[in-house]
Structure 1
Amino acid sequence: MSRRGWFLFILVGFLWGIPYLFIKVAVDPDNGFTPAIVVCLRTAIGAAILIPIAIKQKQLMPALRGIKYVAPYALLEMIGPWILIGTAEQKISSGLAGLLIASVPIWATIFASLQGDKTVWHRTRLAGLVLGFIGLVAVVGIESIKGSSDALSIFMVLVAAVGYSYAVMMVQRALPGVSGIAINGVAMAISALFYLPFTIVQWPTHEISTAAINSIIGLGVLSTGAAFAAFFTLVSIIGVARGSLVTYLNTAFAVVLGVLILGEPLTIGMALGLPLVLIGSYFASRKPVTK
């Protein structure tokens, strides 16, 4: 990988690792926003960044013509998952949320098998699936039994991970030649419009902290707009398969930033489950080399 490729790889890992921290601060019930407002504002900012890029690339119209696929993609990738994660982070740590999202490659592998991808049953990928699930069981089980994390919130983040994994597969099959920047720009606009009525009704009457406002700006500009633009630039350099490995870097950033900046505890469940989920996800998503 070139130096530019490595730079973009690390940059995307950071930009997609830090949103869990931003969300945690932004949804503070005392001086922040509701999860619905957070989704609306971050997607509005993201759409404002990506749509002009798509227009410049002359890719907006193909995405709009595929709206019947982009709309369900928005539902499964943003409208559903982002409200679930935001709601969950009112009760669980940002690091735990990031760790649970690292299971996306595992769910994607399962969906691929249901679509007829027989390479899933290769012993390496199968071992990765088993190892990853052991890691998830360790995280969910220990966190729930000890009572250190809310079981329902953990489940909500796992549902978001399942949505992520299916959404990407679905839209790639339906719109293979359409720019990812255009698809996500339109999807963000749809998501922002969906949550606009909730934003108007739920706008807080209490004083909003500067930290919450800055988190919304960071979430929209960095983790939504810039991150997607950087990711698809990275994919154009190293391909989708290698680009997807950035998921593992995201998780490491999410856990470390939560501990260092927010002072979140590194629990036993996270310490045991993190390496198992990352290693398992890596091997589960790694297709065997054909000779």
Structure 2
Amino acid sequence: MSQKTAAPRWMVLVAFANIYIVWGSTYLAIVFGLDGIPPFILSFLRFLTAGLILFSWCLLKGEAFPTFKNWGRNTLCGSLMLVGGSGLVTWAEQFISSGSAAIIIATEPFWFILLDKKCWSTYFSQKLIIAGLLIGFFGVILFFVQSGNAASSSSAQLTAYLVLLGSSVSWVVGSLLSKRGTGNSDSTIMTTAEQLMAAGMVSLLISLFTKEWPGFSFAEVSLQAWGGLLFLIVMGSLVAYLSFVWLISVRPPALVSTHTYINPVVAVFLGGLFAAEKITLVQVGALLVILLGVLLTNIPGYKKQLLPSE
């Protein structure tokens, strides 16, 4: 791979801290945000506000207004990735800990392999990737078995775990559609703004359909919930994402993708430290098994991107 653009070391370090720690801490921020704000109202406020900020910034820079075709494609991708992905995570965290949610979401790399049909011939011709998939899904089964046998488990919690698996699949499908979209003349930031705004409006429709608004009052929202929402908007949807986009342009994607390993660890640690969330040794073991599977599936890509070609 060719050498990436030179960048100040301190900026690179700050950007990596953002995608490692900030993205990992959004799971805890959701817990705080749910303290008075229903899940899809929280998602509506988060996505729409962040999207409007990015959209306004793009227009001020002189970018053209998006075409109807781009709006349509990005509405679909944004709904799958953000509503189906992050929105369902928010819903699930009503019933399970933020650390447990992060562990299930750590399976996303496996779904990329299973759903990216165009690359199957490459993926399934490599023993490390196959081994990684098998080991990773063994970790998922271990996590589910332990959670299902726990004395405190309930049908709502088990449903939340299943919803999170669906959330991971939705994120991956939306990402693949976004990646393969053709004819998109918008910048990356404008595209993200469209997806965020669309996700905000879809979340609003869901919140109306699920009747979250009756009985909800902004005046009764706790200061902690407002802080969680503000963190999700500014740090989660703006700072961390922009750091990710910039890092991709200055560092090999294989290095940037290492946030996959760090985010669930950060989420589990912060959940225990600030929300008194408990996680069993078996669940920690399941996380390590899942991350080992992720590592094995990514080794071929790391070798290709980080090692000089002969």
- TM-score scaled by length of structure 2: 0.84
Give the corresponding residue for 1:245. Answer: 258
Q: Indicate whether 1:98 and 2:102 are aligned.
A: yes
What is the alpha-carbon distance in structure 1 between the residues aligned to residue 256 and residue 68 of structure 2?
25
CA distance 1:190–1:272, shift in 2 (3 Å)? same
Give the corresponding residue for 2:307. Answer: none
CA positional deviation for 1:282: 2.2
Q: Is the 8 A contact 1:85 1:160 kept in 2?
A: yes
| Superimposed CA distance per residue, residues 84-136 of structure 1 (whole angstroms, 9 cap, x where no aligned partner) | 21221111000010111111111111112x22332212011111111111111
- When structure 1 is superposed on structure 2, of 141-150 and 214-223 the one drifting more is 141-150
CA distance 1:172–1:197, shift in 2 (3 Å)? closer
What is the alpha-carbon distance in structure 2 between the residues aligned to residue 75 and residue 231 of structure 1?
20
Correspondence for 1:23 among 20, 30, 35: 30
Q: Is the 8 A contact 1:135 1:273 kept in 2?
A: yes
What is the alpha-carbon distance in structure 2 between the residues aligned to residue 165 and residue 194 of structure 1?
18
What is the alpha-carbon distance in structure 2 between the residues aligned to residue 250 and residue 13 of structure 1?
6
Runs of 5+ consecutive residues of structure 2 not aligned to the other structure: 305-309
What is the alpha-carbon distance in structure 2 between the residues aligned to residue 60 and residue 253 of structure 1?
39
CA positional deviation for 1:64: 5.9
Give the corresponding residue for 1:196. Answer: 204
CA distance 1:6–1:130, shift in 2 (3 Å)? farther
Q: Indicate whether 1:141 and 2:151 are aligned.
A: no
CA positional deviation for 1:241: 4.0
Give the letter for the 1:117 counterpart.
W
Correspondence for 2:70 among 57, 66, 75: 66
Give the letter for the 2:189 counterpart.
I
Correspondence for 2:128 among 107, 115, 124: 124
Q: Is the 8 A contact 2:136 2:289 kept in 1?
A: yes
Q: For the aligned residues, what is the CA RMSD?
A: 2.4
Q: Is the 8 A contact 2:15 2:240 kept in 1?
A: no
Q: Indicate whether 1:256 and 2:259 are aligned.
A: no
CA distance 1:157–1:188, shift in 2 (3 Å)? same
Paired positions, count: 287
Q: Is the 8 A contact 1:76 1:166 kept in 2?
A: yes
Q: Indicate whether 1:37 and 2:37 are aligned.
A: no
Runs of 5+ consecutive residues of structure 1 not aligned to the other structure: none
CA distance 1:147–1:84, shift in 2 (3 Å)? farther
What is the alpha-carbon distance in structure 2 between the residues aligned to residue 55 and residue 144 of structure 1?
50
Q: Is the 8 A contact 2:48 2:198 kept in 1?
A: no
Q: Indicate whether 1:46 and 2:54 are aligned.
A: no
Q: Indicate whether 1:277 and 2:290 are aligned.
A: yes
What is the alpha-carbon distance in structure 1 between the residues aligned to residue 74 and residue 180 of structure 2?
12
Structure showing greater Rg: 2
Identical-pair percentage: 25
Q: Is the 8 A contact 1:53 1:181 kept in 2?
A: no
Correspondence for 1:174 among 159, 173, 181: 181
What is the alpha-carbon distance in structure 1 between the residues aligned to residue 32 and residue 277 of structure 2?
12
Correspondence for 2:118 among 115, 140, 152: 115
- When structure 1 is superposed on structure 2, of 64-73 and 210-219 the one drifting more is 64-73
CA distance 1:88–1:185, shift in 2 (3 Å)? same
Give the corresponding residue for 1:89. Answer: 93
CA positional deviation for 1:231: 1.0
What is the alpha-carbon distance in structure 2 between the residues aligned to residue 52 and residue 240 of structure 1?
28
CA distance 1:22–1:169, shift in 2 (3 Å)? same
CA positional deviation for 1:188: 0.8
